[in-house]
Structure 1
């Protein structure tokens, strides 16, 4: 949610963020932002401070009192230490001084995404250093991308989404079509490769029973 009453800056920031792949809802006044805060869910607030009707400080302070915990970055020309202190006291998580440097904004947004674990829907966190990209079929481990076979990805997703020990038969039934049902050794081979990629501690094997994902 972008709150910025300077129309030109609002448009520049909105276009920049959209080009970076973000979905942006932009408004020009505090009351409009307030309506959206309580009617929609956002991953991040970008709030100018000196805006019409409700200023950014008061807007965020009220949101925090109402248990809205969405991370927030203030964008403002108010850069005295007292102003910065007031901003953080209002509940913000970072502060970008105007004129806004778009590269600096990107860096600070990426840091907020890291701290608050804000991920796109296709990315699943397995551990702080391991992520599954289910759309592009790879695991990112220690910043290295490891390609997965489609069935490996589907097996891993099934194990992640079922908080229990899953038998080979259950995996075969739910991951493969009936006509294409694999033999047990094929399933074990996929599991073995996943354990090799992730680390054996992430997928435990109860002999004769099945496999369980451990996060």
Structure 2
């Protein structure tokens, strides 16, 4: 499985280095940045699995940065790592869209627990339990069931896993390799031909235009 990619926004270079070394030792891919603008550029250029954000950083503070991202529809989970410990600060952190708030100084092991817990979640910042795919089709993120005109549509196991992954990474390019790793367990043998068959079947159910094939790159799922 590919390593989870984390962004660390921390302007204290010593702390940044310590956190990076620890998380890399735990098999995470960590990209350190040192001000809010640098973080913003990195988030637009790279797909991260989790954001670790200090608040009092140069150019654009963590609260402002995350508020912008949430307004633009970016749902990447985020943890604030900050010395701001007043209840008003915690409230502002959650209102800006964070998933967790960790006060400094913190134990590296506690940070690891919080990261692992968040990465186990399947959907982030979805306003309703049902995701609307178009005017006729919805997906229930709690029960993982597909509805067409309010009626449940039964999917085969691989097609259900495929749809769930597409919805978790909507509007992102997903490589063939990632799709293969997600659909087939270690003891199973998949193939490009079988993958194309599952995608073809899914297109018949939810609409051909939803799953865009990008030559040599993979596929992208688009919502209405």
TM range (shorter): 0.5 to 0.7
Aligned length: 142
User: Taking structure 1 as the reference length, what is the TM-score of the superposition?
Assistant: 0.59
**Residue equivalent to 2:189:** 153
Name the SS for the 1:154 alignment partner. Answer: coil
Give the match for residue 219 of structure 2. none
Alignment of 1:1-215 (within 5 A): 1-116=7-122, 121=178, 123-124=181-182, 133=185, 137=186, 148=187, 152-154=188-190, 159=194, 162-163=197-198
Residues 36-94 of structure 1: CA deviation (Å, up to 9, x unaligned): 12222111110001111111000100111111111111001111211111000000011
Gaps of 5+ in 2: 1-6, 124-167, 169-176, 202-224
Structure 1 gaps of 5+ residues are 127-131, 138-147, 166-215
How far apart, CA to CA, are the structure 2 residues paired with 1:29 and 1:15?
19
Runs of 4+ with >3 A deviation: 120-123, 157-161
Instruction: Work out the CA distance in 1 between the residues paired with 2:100 and 2:67.
Output: 14
